[in-house]
Amino acid sequence: MSMIKRVFAFAVFTLLLVACGKASNGTNSDSLEPPILDDTFASSGVGNSDESELPSGWFALTYQTSDLVCQEEMSYSQARCLFDYRNSFPSYISSPDFYCSNVNYPGLASCDSRWYPDELDQYEFVSFQGSDYVCDSTYSFGDLECYRYFSGDPGSVVGYSPDLYCTDGFSPECNQDFPPSDLEDLEFASIDGYDYVCESSLMGQDCYRWNGFGSPKDATFGFPDYYCNDYGECSPDDYP
């Protein structure tokens, strides 16, 4: 009897092993295979959230270390984006956290809290006395006309009355009254207690009365008020 029991137990044990083996080799796609992202989600920069949760016209984007949800713009490569809180999806993002460009090109997306980076790149920006200005070139080579800038489309402020004048370059010089380049080849002098702006001539310097307003270059038209020699002697009639 003991031999029969041992054979029976071995048979039962073998059947259990076969059953367990079949269970471990079963297919369960939800637990064994990684989820597949749809093409739109993958090409948008890839956020950490399931894009199926987003309304139509929205997509997820990871920029640097921020997870964003974005709304497509009419332009193929631009989008308005919010931090990915997933608490509301307005029909139009009127106050985005970021404006993003190149969102349809993986690895090339760039974002800015002020405006779309690809449009900001069309302008120059300077900081003067703690304020930001957007600048555009002028008819005079090397000069910039600059406008106080906070955020939004820079094109909406450029072209009106400039708030600042700057020279173009790596370290621009700026002036609130006139382009700094207007001072080239000019000198200031005080004659009989009044201010004059002077330019070089063959005989010395021609000096013009300047009231301190506007560009000193504009004062150098017409006949000089004083003629000065190289020794600093001046006369209203001719060179001393």
Residue type for position 240: P
Average pLDDT over residues 192-214: 90
Is residue 108 scored above 90 in pLDDT?
no
Structural tokens at position 196: 């004059």
Is residue 139 classed as helix, strand or coil in its secondary structure?
coil
Taking every pair of Cα atoms in the chain, the longest distance, rounded to a whole number of angstroms, is 145
Contact 164, 146 (CB under 8 A): yes
Contact 126, 135 (CB under 8 A): yes
- Distance between CA atoms of residues 118 and 171, nearest Å: 23
Residue type for position 115: W
pLDDT of residue 121: 94
Average pLDDT over the chain, rounded to whole? 77
Is residue 196 scored above 80 in pLDDT?
yes
* pTM for this prediction: 0.64
**H helix runs in the chain, sequence order:** 2-24, 29-32, 39-43, 117-120
**H helix runs in 25-157, sequence order:** 29-32, 39-43, 117-120
pLDDT of residue 195: 92
